[in-house]
């Protein structure tokens, strides 16, 4: 799935002649904090809610003399690159341009998250296992092999690690509701299981809330 397929048909870009009041009203209406500014089909950059609040809202955006941030995504880039850029720049929307640098539209954070949430493994039933390990010890083949011995399979993975740390957190989604035997097998092979979430935990309301919050985090 590429960026062009996520472009919003509802939210329009600003022009330099638009007043700050119009930009703020649009942000409030669509629950976003950024809007692209476009002139003659060319992306000038993004204006943020914070930018606007520092100036007279009844003046045109062109009068603000802003040094525009210009993060954007090319139309043919994959949806995961959209996610990376929006996360890196902490954006509520990201502009989309073509190879000729022509502005095509924007992608909202909400549309991106909804699309990611509906993709593949997020909608499949299963359970979550979180492992903590040294980065050099990570081997998906080995971990998958242990899980497959318990008649289950890994259907998605996510690895997170700080640049200044040798530790990594590996989040696995497996296609089995009860992961007790899988957890025991992983621990038998000296893997540190930080957490696990499965459907039988729904009997405990607090665990259900933790599971749903964690699943929402994964979608993000």
Pairing state between β 93-97 and 154-160: unpaired
pLDDT score of 165:
86
pLDDT score of 163:
75
pLDDT score of 95:
97
pLDDT score of 150:
96
10-residue block means of pLDDT along the chain (220 residues)? 93 97 97 97 95 94 90 92 91 95 95 81 80 94 96 90 86 91 96 81 48 54
pLDDT score of 197:
81
User: pTM for the complete prediction?
Assistant: 0.67
pLDDT score of 218:
54
pLDDT score of 124:
75
pLDDT score of 203:
42
Domain ranges of the chain: 3-114, 120-219
120-219 homologous superfamily: ACT domain (3.30.70.260)
Q: Which fold has domain 3-114?
A: CBS-domain (3.10.580)
pLDDT score of 102:
95
Residue 39 pairs in a beta bridge with: 42
**What DSSP letter does each residue of the chain carry, written as one string?**
-BGGGG--SSPPPB-TTSBHHHHHHHHHHHT-SEEEEEETTEEEEEEEHHHHHTS-TTSBGGGG----B---EETTSBHHHHHHHHHHHT-SEEEEE-TT-BEEEEEEHHHHHHHHHHSGGGGS--EEEEEEEEGGG--HHHHHHHHHTTT--EEEEEEE--TT-SEEEEEEEES-S--HHHHHHHHHTT-EEEEEE-GGGGGSHHHHHHHHHHHHHHH-
């Amino acid at each position: 799935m590429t960026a062009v397929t996520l472009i919003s048909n509802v939210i329009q870009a600003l022009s330099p002649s638009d007043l700050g009041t119009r930009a703020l009203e649009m942000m409030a209406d669509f629950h976003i904090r950024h809007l692209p500014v476009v002139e003659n089909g060319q992306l000038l950059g993004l204006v943020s809610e914070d930018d606007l609040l520092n100036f007279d809202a009844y003046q045109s955006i062109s009068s603000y003399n802003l040094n525009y941030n210009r993060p954007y995504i090319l139309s043919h880039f994959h949806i995961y690159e959209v996610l990376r850029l929006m996360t890196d720049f902490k954006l509520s929307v990201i502009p989309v341009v073509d190879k000729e640098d022509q502005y095509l539209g924007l992608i909202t954070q909400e549309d991106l998250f909804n699309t990611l949430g509906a993709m593949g493994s997020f909608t499949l039933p299963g359970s979550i296992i979180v492992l903590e390990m040294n980065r050099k010890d990570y081997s998906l083949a080995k971990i998958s092999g242990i899980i497959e011995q318990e008649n289950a399979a890994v259907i998605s993975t996510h690895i997170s690690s700080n640049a200044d740390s040798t530790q990594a957190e590996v989040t696995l989604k497996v296609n089995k509701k009860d992961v007790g035997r899988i957890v025991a097998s992983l621990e038998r092979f000296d893997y540190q299981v930080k957490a696990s979430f499965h459907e039988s935990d729904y009997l405990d309301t607090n665990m259900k809330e933790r599971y749903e919050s964690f699943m929402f985090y994964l979608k993000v």
